[in-house]
């Protein structure tokens, strides 16, 4: 922006609480550099950079909405360490460990983003360098706590082994010394003074063992003595420790040079990770606040904020409103009572404009914002004791600056314009200033209580007059924004609520009426009518919203049941397919057993056939319910018989089975194939024709009397024997059972019959008998 940066920052923070909102974003960052980047953010004039940031935020939001996750914990500001390496300074092990952890986080980010279809995130991912060799080199020498590993180099391993051996020798020598000179010691323990092993010797014997005296106890009765036998070993330990420190310094120096060689890549990755962390913080805030990434447009001055709520207000209490300014509407004038939400509305719109130009999302469901190259804010008391300025003087000073420096791409926010002086002069001044700014082409947001200013706004097509709704019955603000309606101040009503003396209020009302001109009276009437209409409209809108909600719930329930039905159908089909597959496997097994049988007995053959028919029958049961019509041949499941449908009535059917008419429910029927039955000619029954012809494999004697049926059976069996038929089916039906029993008895006595078995489900069941002939 064109204003001085620090003064502009102070203006934003004072007017629209810009810093407090930025703190919400900063709290969602992963490391200090990105947090600092957000806290120092300001609206920009660079439209390309603004859109670049907003596009990155948009992709980040989509990344999280897809269910992807990426933690940038582990990032830290390594710039100072990298700059030190560039100056050939040796980095400390902890600094090197931070660089390794940073690179590990970079690798995690690259891996998470390299397969994404989101262009901006993929572009940033592709711009990063892994610097894998540097990370491996650091990890091989330094552990996670920032200490150099004992096996970081061959020299360190050698020194540590030497140190262990010497300390072992020293420990043995100290034990021998303590055991031998225990009477001269104050205690049977050793101690370490500046890394050298000593013993606490009684004062009288301090010079008895040679070596060095390192000090005395507080009582003066004992001295810390390093006996001469300890000195060579202590000296060797100190030399090895010095070698170890020298080797550690060499390792750190070598790794620091490695960092220097990759400094540009590290700094580039740091910048990319900072931008990603900032974008992710913005995306998390946007999702939490149910917000949106704004669109910045240069086409015209149309401004749209749908369902916008101030982010600093408790989400459970905030009232979301929709604000619109068409291209021809250069100014928005908000009216209404004090504490009605006028200032909050101005701050919300101003805040969202500033956030959008700083590359941040906003707490709205849609945001279309014109591009502005300068922003001006005057909100609150501008009184300055230091500069000897009153509130009005300071206000006028700000207005003078805005009027001279603003242009057609300026956004101007003026709270209570013209306030702080004589109402008539203040109104006139406010009208003149607004007219000047509108002529310049600025986008102006203002609030007022002045009737003259309201009248001016109502008659100017470039000004949208709006108000904040106020409930006259409860005398409480609803904080609902109402475009196109000017609002009354309700000063007397509010004063009455706070128990101001009634006589004072009556006198004030009388003075107001006496001084009120015709225009003011008409304006107040219009305001009351508008408020009444708006209240009715709001009630109607609530009813419409409720109806829409009920409709959405009904649609949601319908979709829910449709999904459930689809799921159940899929489960049913899956279970049916599994069942059919099992039955097919069982049938294949039966066929295989029959094929492999060398000499299959008749009763086993009959059993195999019945089992296969049962499997087929069970498969058919898995099908969907069928519709029936007259003439269908069906199986009566609960009677184990079959027949033809001769009559249908709703859910009942008349079935002709075994010569009998049976009335059954259709849900107990199953369509089957009609048996191919060849009737025995009547001449056979009457034995009028004794000649033998080709013999059918079935004999149907349903409907015959017992004697007639047995005669036909005997004649039929004679033909079968003569023609060497080995297996036939006798269809006798169930009926009363007399014919069936007689047939079975006759077959048992017949010399040509080898065995008998009841028919399977597809062979007539108990209504037929399978006969195996000799």
pLDDT digits (tens, 9 = 90+) for 58-101: 999 999 998 888 889 889 999 999 999 999 999 999 999 999 99
- If you average pLDDT over residues 595-609, what whole number do you get? 58
Does residue 545 carry a pLDDT above 90? no
1: pLDDT strictly greater than 60 = no
pLDDT value for 491: 61
426 confidence band (pLDDT: 50, 70, 90):
confident
Q: Kindly state the average pLDDT of the residues 680-695.
A: 47
> Does pLDDT of 276 surpass 90?
yes
Q: Report the residue count for the chain.
A: 774
Let me know how many helices (H) and strands (E) the chain has, helices first. Answer: 22, 23
Alpha helices in 364-465 (DSSP H): 391-405, 423-440, 451-459
CATH number of 627-671: 2.30.30.30
Q: Which of 114, 525, 564, 61 is nearest to 294 (CA)?
A: 61
Return the residue matching tokens 């956004």: 411
Residue 690 has pLDDT above 60, yes or no: no
In this structure, whether the domain defined by 296-515 belongs to CATH 3.90.1150.10 is answered with: no
- The answer, yes or no, to whether residue 603 has pLDDT greater than 60, is no
How much is the average pLDDT of 118-133?
A: 91
Does residue 24 or residue 574 have the better pLDDT?
A: 24
| Continuous segment of H or E residues that includes residue 652 | strand 652-657
What value does the mean pLDDT of the chain take?
83
Residue 26: Cβ within 10 Å count: 21
Place 305 in a pLDDT band, splitting at 50, 70 and 90: very high
pLDDT over 60 (residue 622): no
Tell me which residue has tokens 């408790």.
Answer: 314
What residue spans of 40-153 are helical by DSSP H? 47-65, 79-86, 93-113, 119-126, 132-141
CA–CA separation, 304 and 466 (whole Å): 15
Q: Interior CA angle at 702 toward 699 and 703, to 5°?
A: 140
pLDDT computed for residue 623 by the predictor: 46
Cβ neighbours, 10 Å, residue 757 = 18
Q: Give the residue-averaged pLDDT of 263-270.
A: 95
Q: What is the pLDDT of residues 488-499, one digit of tens each?
A: 555 666 666 667
pLDDT recorded at residue 515 = 59
| 632/655 Cα distance (integer angstroms) | 9
Beta strands in 227-285 (DSSP E): none
Contact 301, 371 (CB under 8 A): no
Please compute the mean of the pLDDT values over residues 312-324 and round it to a whole number: 92
CB 360 within 8 A of CB 23: no
What is the chain's percent helix, strand, coil content, to nearest 5?
Answer: 50, 20, 30
| pLDDT of 319 above 70 | yes
User: What single DSSP character describes residue 421?
Assistant: S
**Is 666 within 8 Å of 628 (Cβ atoms)?**
yes
**What integer is the mean pLDDT of 651-660?**
78
Give one DSSP letter per residue of 731-764, joined into a string: E---TTSHHHHHHHHHHHH-TTEEEEEE--TTTT
**Which residue, among 721, 719, 771, has the nearest Cα to 746 in the 3D structure?**
771
Query: pLDDT value at position 703?
Result: 76
* Selection from 437-441, 599-603, 672-676, 698-702 with the highest mean pLDDT: 437-441
Which tops the pLDDT comparison, 614 or 440?
440
Instruction: Please check the confidence at residue 613 and state whether its pLDDT lies above 90.
Output: no
CA 24, CA 285: separation in Å to the nearest integer? 8
Give the residue-averaged pLDDT of 253-274.
95
Residue 579 is predicted with a pLDDT of: 76
Q: What is the pLDDT of residue 526?
A: 62
> Whole-angstrom Cα distance, residue 122 to residue 59?
10
| Residue 21 neighbours by CB distance under 10 Å | 23
Higher pLDDT, 5 or 617: 5
What's the pLDDT score for residue 331?
A: 94
pLDDT given at position 618: 54
Q: With 50 as the cut, is the pLDDT of residue 388 above it?
A: no
Binding site listing for ATP:
336-343
The overall pTM is greater than 0.75: no
pLDDT band at 686 (very low <50, low <70, confident <90, very high): very low
271, 306, 348, 492, 556 from 499: Cα distances, Å: 61, 39, 33, 11, 51
Q: At the topology level of CATH, where does 682-773 sit? A: Ribosomal Protein S8; Chain: A, domain 1 (3.30.1370)
Least confident segment among 33-47, 68-82, 434-448, 736-750? 736-750
| Token representation of residue 113 | 């983003």
Is the CB of residue 277 less than 8 Å from the CB of residue 121?
Answer: no
pLDDT score recorded for residue 4: 76
How far apart are the C-alpha atoms of 456 and 335, rounded to whole Å? Answer: 13
- d(CA 417, CA 438) in angstroms, rounded, equals 14
In this structure, what DSSP letter does residue 470 have? E
Residue carrying structure tokens 């900063």: 26
User: Which CATH number applies to 5-131+262-288?
Assistant: 1.10.1420.10
Query: Residue 371 CA to chain centroid, in angstroms?
Result: 32
- Measured CA to CA, the distance from residue 130 to residue 116 in angstroms comes to 18
* 368-381: pLDDT as tens digits: 999 999 999 988 65
Structure tokens at 210: 């040679």
**Do residues 221 and 202 lie in contact, with contact meaning Cβ atoms separated by under 8 Å?**
yes
pLDDT of res. 532: 66
CB 36 within 8 A of CB 439: no
Residue 411 backbone phi and psi in degrees, to 5: -110, 125
Burial of 266 (0-12, 13-18, 19+ CB in 10 A): buried
Q: Is the predicted pLDDT of residue 614 greater than 90, yes or no?
A: no
Strand 374-378 to strand 669-671: parallel, antiparallel, or no bridges (unpaired)?
A: unpaired
Which of the four pLDDT bands, split at 50, 70 and 90, describes residue 485? Answer: confident
Cα(592)–Cα(586) distance, rounded to whole angstroms? 10
Ordered DSSP codes for 312-371: TS-TTTPPPEEEEE-TT--EEEEE--TTSSHHHHHHHHHHHHHHHHTT--BSSSEEEEE-
Say if residues 337 and 491 touch (Cβ distance below 8 Å).
yes
The CA distance from 479 to 477, in Å, is 6
Question: Residues annotated as binding site?
Answer: 336-343
Residue ranges in 597-737 assigned as alpha helix (H): 602-621, 682-686, 706-722
Residue 620 is predicted with a pLDDT of: 47
How many CB atoms lie under 10 A from the CB of residue 462?
Answer: 15
Instruction: Report, as an integer, the average pLDDT of 612-622.
Output: 52
* φ and ψ of 134, to 5 deg: -65, -45
Q: What is the pLDDT of residues 715-731, one digit of tens each?
A: 888 888 888 888 888 98
């Amino acid at each position: 922006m064109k204003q001085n940066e620090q003064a502009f920052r102070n203006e934003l923070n004072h007017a629209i609480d810009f810093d407090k909102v930025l703190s919400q974003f900063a709290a969602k960052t992963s490391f200090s550099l990105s947090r600092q980047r957000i806290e120092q953010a300001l609206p920009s004039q660079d439209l390309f950079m603004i859109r670049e940031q907003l596009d990155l935020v948009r992709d980040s939001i989509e990344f999280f909405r897809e269910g992807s996750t990426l933690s940038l914990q582990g990032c830290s500001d390594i710039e100072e360490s990298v700059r030190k390496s560039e100056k050939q300074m040796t980095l400390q092990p902890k600094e090197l460990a931070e660089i390794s952890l940073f690179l590990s986080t970079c690798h995690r980010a690259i891996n998470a983003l390299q397969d994404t279809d989101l262009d901006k995130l993929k572009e940033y991912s592709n711009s990063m360098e892994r610097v894998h060799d540097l990370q491996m080199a650091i990890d091989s020498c330094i552990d996670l706590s920032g200490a150099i590993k004992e096996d970081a180099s061959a020299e360190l391993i050698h020194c540590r082994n030497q140190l262990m051996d010497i300390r072992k020798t020293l420990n043995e020598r100290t034990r021998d010394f303590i055991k031998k000179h225990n009477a001269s010691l104050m205690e049977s323990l050793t101690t370490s003074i500046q890394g050298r092993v000593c013993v606490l010797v009684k004062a009288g014997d301090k010079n008895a063992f040679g070596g060095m005296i390192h000090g005395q106890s507080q009582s003066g009765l004992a001295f810390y003595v390093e006996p001469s036998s300890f000195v060579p070993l202590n000296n060797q330990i100190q030399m090895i420790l010095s070698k170890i420190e020298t080797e550690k310094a060499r390792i750190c120096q070598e790794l620091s040079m490695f960092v220097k060689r990759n400094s540009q890549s590290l700094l580039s990755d740091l910048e990319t990770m900072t931008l990603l962390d900032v974008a992710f913080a913005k995306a998390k805030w946007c999702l939490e606040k149910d917000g949106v990434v704004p669109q910045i447009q240069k086409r015209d001055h149309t401004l749209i904020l749908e369902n916008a709520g101030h982010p600093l207000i408790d989400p459970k209490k905030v009232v979301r409103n929709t604000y619109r300014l068409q291209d021809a509407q250069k100014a928005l004038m908000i009216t209404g009572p004090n504490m009605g939400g006028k200032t909050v509305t101005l701050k919300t719109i101003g805040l969202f404009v500033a956030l959008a130009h700083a590359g941040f999302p906003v707490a709205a469901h849609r945001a279309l914002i014109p591009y502005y190259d300068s922003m001006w804010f005057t909100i609150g008391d501008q009184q300055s004791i230091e500069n000897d300025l009153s509130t009005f003087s300071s206000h006028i000073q700000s207005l003078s600056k805005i009027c001279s420096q603003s242009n057609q791409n300026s956004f101007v926010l003026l709270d209570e314009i013209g306030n702080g002086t004589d109402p008539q002069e203040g109104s006139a001044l406010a009208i003149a200033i607004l007219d000047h700014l509108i002529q310049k082409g600025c986008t102006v947001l203002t609030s007022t209580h002045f009737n003259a200013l309201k009248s001016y706004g109502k008659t100017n097509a470039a000004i949208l007059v709006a108000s904040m709704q106020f409930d006259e019955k409860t005398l409480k603000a609803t904080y609902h924004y109402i475009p196109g309606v000017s609002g009354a101040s309700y000063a007397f009503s509010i004063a009455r609520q706070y128990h101001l003396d009634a006589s004072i209020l009556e006198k004030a009302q009388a003075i107001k009426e006496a001084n009120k001109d015709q225009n003011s009276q008409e304006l107040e009437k219009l305001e009351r009518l508008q408020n009444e209409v708006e209240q009715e409209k709001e009630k109607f809108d609530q009813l419409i919203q409720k109806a829409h909600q009920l409709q959405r719930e009904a649609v949601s329930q319908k979709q829910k049941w449709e999904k459930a039905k689809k799921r159940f159908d899929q489960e049913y089909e899956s279970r049916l397919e599994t069942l059919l597959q099992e039955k097919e496997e069982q049938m294949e097994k039966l066929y295989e057993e029959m094929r492999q049988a060398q000499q299959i007995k008749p009763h086993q053959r009959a059993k195999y056939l019945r089992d296969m028919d049962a499997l087929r029958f069970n498969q058919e049961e898995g099908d969907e319910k069928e519709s029936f019509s007259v003439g269908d041949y069906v199986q009566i499941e609960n009677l184990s018989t079959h027949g033809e449908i001769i009559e249908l009535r709703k859910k009942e059917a008349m079935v002709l089975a075994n010569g009998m008419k049976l009335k059954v429910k259709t849900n107990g029927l199953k369509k089957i194939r009609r048996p191919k039955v060849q009737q025995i000619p009547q001449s056979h029954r009457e034995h009028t024709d004794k000649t033998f012809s080709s013999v059918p494999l079935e004999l149907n004697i349903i409907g015959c009397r017992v004697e007639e049926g047995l005669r036909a059976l005997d004649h039929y069996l004679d033909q079968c024997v003569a023609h060497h038929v080995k297996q036939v089916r006798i269809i006798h039906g169930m009926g009363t059972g007399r014919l069936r029993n007689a047939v079975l008895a006759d077959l048992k006595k017949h010399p040509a019959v080898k065995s008998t078995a009841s028919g399977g489900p597809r062979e007539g069941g108990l209504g037929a008998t399978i006969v195996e002939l000799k």
